[in-house]
Structure 1
Amino acid sequence: MPSSTDDAILFLNGMLSNVCIFLALIREYESASGQRVNASKTSFLSPKKTSRSKAQRLSNLTSFCQAFLPMVYLGIPLTKGKITSPLLQPIMHKITSKIDGWKAKLLNPTAKQVLIKHVLSSMPIHLLIPINIPKLVCKSLEKAFANFSGAVLRRETMDIRSNGPKSARLSMREV
């Protein structure tokens, strides 16, 4: 039974010759590895100015569907331009769902602090490091952490990301 390949993003121009070379490379990889590219889970992006007929030809040739921005890839929102708060809602929901599943009344303050610092703060790190997080998102996460722990907010601890002087930091003050 063939296994599936790992996720990858590949960039190439849409010239027919390059697409044919790319498809030949995929077939060669599949033959050598025994793995198969799942065309139903594979898509391509094209510039806005690409005609529908050209996109349709590319789709027919590759058996891949056309995708559009914004989209999510490996949990990270991809978009042209600035990442906005609505694009990060799935990540926010994942974190708040985790908090809702914990029984805050049954945990002492130290246990709450450990959960926040080591479980919650590590969840979004790999997703949020490559992007500039809007300050509103950081403040919302800060508030969710504080509500769970009974802590007061303070700008100091738990860096989620650090991308220059305008970066927001996620923090909380211990009770």
Structure 2
Amino acid sequence: MSDKCYNVLFLCAANSARSIIAEVILNQIGQGRFKAFSAGSAPRGEVHPMTLQVLRAQGYDTGALRSKSWEEFAGPDAPQLDFVFTVCDTIAGETCPVWPGQPLTAHWGVADPVKVEGSEPRRLDAFSRTQNQLLNRLRLFTSLPLAKLDRLAIQHEIDRIGQTPAAAEG
């Protein structure tokens, strides 16, 4: 078994909901095998309040969360990345910086809970569905025997995980 800790970056345009949620979940369920980060191409500058509310309700630590630019992960002092996952369709089509470490990449598109309109319970439900979908994908990801697979097999698996069905819209 490998003792390697894999660095994983989650990207979304605003870095206020989906990428933040994925970062928090992977840092908890990754059990030291993964170090997760998140960033955005046009960061909002703050984590969406409902992101924080949903994560705290599930017992996740949100104290150190902040919305940040992907440029933090493209410089010479950035951690060497093993994986980069885009979680919004907007950023999937953008030209990303060159990431240190030649990471494997995949698109794990998730509907934007920030765009859901209506009552507060309806909006919170959208954030909860996003959290559940990302949790399911991250459970599949963390169960992969990464040390036993070659790059091509890992790429196939992370692409497959990104195609798991989205949570039903409410």
TM-score by length of 1: 0.22
Q: Give the number of the structure whose residues are more often strand, by fraction.
A: 2
Which structure: greater helix fraction? Answer: 1
Q: TM-score, normalised by structure 2?
A: 0.22
Higher relative CO (Cα under 8 Å, sequence separation at least 6) belongs to: 2
Q: Larger C-alpha radius of gyration, 1 or 2? A: 1
